[in-house]
Amino acid sequence: MVEWLDVLNISIYILFLCCYAYQFVYVGIRLFKKMPELTAKKFHKYAVLIAARNESNVIGNLLDSIAAQNYPKELVDIYVVADNCTDDTAAVSRAHGAYVFERYNREKVGKGYALDFAFKQIMRKYGEDFYDGYFVFDADNVLDENFIYEMNKVFDNGYRIVTSYRNSKNFGYNWISAGYALWFLRESKYLNGARMLCNTSCAISGTGFLVSKEIIKKDDGWRYNLLTEDIEFTVDKVLHQEVIGYCETAIVYDEQPVNFKTSWKQRMRWTKGFYQVMHNYGGKLLRGIWSNKGFQCYDMLSTIAPATLLTFSMLIINFLSMSYGLIFENYSFVIKALINIWASIRNMYLTLLFFGSITLITEWKQIYCSTSKKILYLFTFPIFMFTYVPIAIVALFKKVTWEPIKHTFVQKVTEIRSVDS
């Protein structure tokens, strides 16, 4: 029986390595290879789309940061979808220079539906070719002043979809906001950055991305409405052999949750959304591994695969084995199970600490909080990630619907950067 326990643990460990070992290679690529320096021959005309629900508190700073871009003003128009709002989001947006579409639909709720509404309104009014591309932001974002200028470089070099460097407004607030922030920095630098260097497709991350008019025309708007519409969009485009680009010099700052209840709800939605994408597209990605875009499909399949369930499987197997040993007084079984549980938790913690440490060191100047908080929250980062395990389990059985997240951090870019670092 002990031998079978070893076989099961080793099998899960090998499966985990098969799914994620390549991400260590990504780290090496980013550490030893520089991003290409691109230039643009043309300033393209863009529309900026913001889906907002009761965001009057924060949307003004985003609109001001767009207006302050180092990019020709006549080539950027801003559109806000005030989606089922009960506050003055529409009025605030108009006061800050945005065109506003007011949408009321209690049945089709979510960011995807709001974006589709905006695309169709714009194309109906101006035609399909009026804009070269469309930026998508969340209302709580603020932009570096060179964001559009830098994104235009990658777009002009032939990428029809481009994602950006996702930073955070409130890294130093507590261990929860820091956990999110460090993960997004790692995703930008060591996943999307490495993918860009390997000429494979990147993944968009909810906000701060650019889509060409050709993509929107082909899709007749925005047809992605799962709980994680960004991942659904990414996977669908990878399956259609689209290569998504990444611009590391285009920085978007967004707000992270700071209390566990809000974080739990948000990550529950994300996890359920990943399950939905896995259900709808997992088989296609698996078959796509043997196509000419095999690595892209493998990478995206690993991205949406429920890694936390592998961890849970390993833990539950050993907990059951320990219970068996206690019931039948087979204490060698108990000891073996305890050793395996400890080893699993230790290895997970050290792996996450490794990725967090590399990210913290290389992105130190991009993290705006005190040195003591940076170091403290590095060690709580693996704990934050551990909390995905119960979320992943509950999400298997719980019905999850889209709910808006209340945003309260009202900060300009200069205020974010002024925090001691």
Give DSSP secondary structure letters for 81-145: EEES-SSSHHHHHHHTT-EEEEE--SSS-SHHHHHHHHHHHHHHHH-TTS-SEEEEEETT-EE-T
pTM (two decimals): 0.93
Q: What percent of the chain has pLDDT over 70?
A: 98
Q: Any idea which residue has 């429920």 for tokens? A: 306
- Average pLDDT, integer, range 110-117: 94
Amino acid letter, 166: R
Gap between the Cα atoms of 222 and 205, Å rounded: 16
Q: How many domains does the chain have?
A: 1
Which residues are registered as beta bridge partners of 168?
254
**With bands split at pLDDT 50, 70 and 90, how would you rate the model's confidence at 1?**
low
Gap between the Cα atoms of 383 and 405, Å rounded: 23
Residue 37 belongs to a domain with what CATH number?
3.90.550.10
Owning domain of residue 331: 1-421
Which backbone phi and psi does 198 adopt, to 5 degrees? Answer: -90, 0
Gap between the Cα atoms of 307 and 310, Å rounded: 5
- Average pLDDT, integer, range 200-219: 96
Distance of CA 284 to the CA centre of its chain: 22
Name the CA radius of gyration of the chain, rounded.
22
**What confidence score (pLDDT) does residue 338 get?**
86
- Average pLDDT, integer, range 327-349: 81
Gap between the Cα atoms of 377 and 409, Å rounded: 20
200 and 397 Cβ atoms separated by less than 8 Å: no
**Model confidence pLDDT, tens digit, residues 17-63:** 877 899 999 999 999 999 999 999 999 999 999 999 999 999 999 99
Q: Which residue has the higher pLDDT, 2 or 380?
A: 380
Gap between the Cα atoms of 68 and 413, Å rounded: 11
**With bands split at pLDDT 50, 70 and 90, how would you rate the model's confidence at 233?**
very high
Instruction: Tell me how crowded residue 316 is: count the other CB atoms within 10 A of its CB.
Output: 12
- Average pLDDT, integer, range 63-75: 97
